Structure 1
């Protein structure tokens, strides 16, 4: 019997998840089909009940449901609990378990593409939303030297400082202007906001006037493949990476949670790049 998987979101028609997962199922030889389920925010409970009733094997969860689904699940993984959001649901014979693979997917892409040792790095995270929380949690679990968070609403950034305290990692929340003045102190800069995302490609979340050449500048955005932030950073000699690696890695980790098998991440990346009109390798 063909297994059913899917993604819960609103809107969700733009998602590339069905394309990459259906290709992975076919390549590995798993009889399964992955669908996009557009779920209204007031019907999240019914959607989760539907997973049980229809015996759907697993689901991804995307905006705006990553937090809302949590109270309807039977068990939450410790990392997802720390993050406060779920992006992966596994149906274990009727018991629904929630995980979050976003942060781990990001850190893997950062380490794979830069080969850096994060242990003593000073990291700046721009943004304090759900994406930021997932990445900050994974960075703290990996181990970093110092964390700085900046956000348009500084009080939201300050809320994440408590998370760093649980790992005994020095951390601070700073206003954007202060961060820009001391930008040359950071080893890694990560934009977790949507500033610069298509169609607003002429926007940037931060001035890079004081960026030091050896800094790694990362943007979770992958449409466009190179944001204004990354273009400016590259022009200053910084190493840059976009959000493709995180997207592919979080998808691959979800696939492993569902099937116990590793998909071909190179093939996943190729498909995503083709969909975005970029180079296929």
Structure 2
């Protein structure tokens, strides 16, 4: 048994994605949502161990709170300060974070794009942005510019990035001063565009040179992506990151290669885009 710890979890697409993968590989396993209020997290972890659960994903509000309950936290999760995947094996709980890897795999497979040597403008400084920032630095970007409506959060993320990557070119960019910065790649890691009909920036004003990725996946076509297409820029939505972080979690639990095509179809079907 596998599952998702969060509060709430009813709208998650993860059960459909993982259960489709188990069926495709003929594995005798099931993935279920475990709605878990914050004050019940520790009790839930004890219960999962007692029930023989083999792995879980963590979502809001548990990605940070789970850390002290784990026996081991892998470096990629420790750097981000958050865990989204836990393996329960031989009495030990091991936590990792697959968000950054999921993002890089989406770049590679959905955009055929490599971030190494590129200048990247990252919008946002929350949990998702942190994972993406560290992944981009690990991938060898030439420069990473971080812009957030709250300048203090952007400054804090920049400081953390410099601690882990002292030689990296990382700086905060004031949101009102993004016109003409000309990044190769723009990444939207904010929630702007998630059903609000808004766009975080005007791509033409920012002068994006090569590609755009928006981690929002509901709707699949945000105003930001619509503008990218109008400008002829290669672009991708957040389904890829959701898919590939899930595929990485699946492999972490099962040591089996994830059937990504099956998982992608399940995600799109769950969103009504079959």
Please indicate the TM-score interval, normalised by the length of the shorter structure. Answer: over 0.9
> Map of 1:1-281 to 2, 5 A cutoff?
4-165=1-162, 166-167=164-165, 168-179=167-178, 181-183=179-181, 185-198=182-195, 200=196, 202-212=197-207, 214-278=209-273, 280=274
TM-score (norm. length: structure 1): 0.93
What is the SS of the residue equivalent to 1:7? strand
What is the SS of the residue equivalent to 2:79? helix
What is the SS of the residue equivalent to 1:32? coil
Q: Structure 1: which 5+ residue stretches go unaligned?
A: none
> 1:18, CA displacement in angstroms?
0.9
Q: Structure 2: how far apart are the matches of 1:32 and 1:275?
A: 20
Larger relative contact order (Cα-Cα within 8 Å, sequence gap ≥ 6) = 2
Q: Which moved more, 1:132-141 or 1:108-117?
A: 108-117
What is the SS of the residue equivalent to 2:48? helix
TM-score (norm. length: structure 2): 0.95
What is the SS of the residue equivalent to 1:118? coil
> 1:164, CA displacement in angstroms?
2.9
What is the SS of the residue equivalent to 2:16? helix
Conserved 8 A contact 1:7-1:60: yes
Supply the RMSD in Å over aligned alpha carbons: 1.3
Q: How many residues align?
A: 272
1:29-85 Cα offsets, whole Å, 9 max, x none, are 211111101111121111112222222100011111111111111110011000100
Q: Structure 2: which 5+ residue stretches go unaligned?
A: none
Q: Structure 2: how far apart are the matches of 1:195 and 1:41?
A: 26
Conserved 8 A contact 2:194-2:219: yes
Flag as ranges the 4+ runs of structure 1 deviating above 3 A. Answer: 211-214
1:240-268 Cα offsets, whole Å, 9 max, x none, are 10001111101111010110001210111
> 1:162, CA displacement in angstroms?
2.3
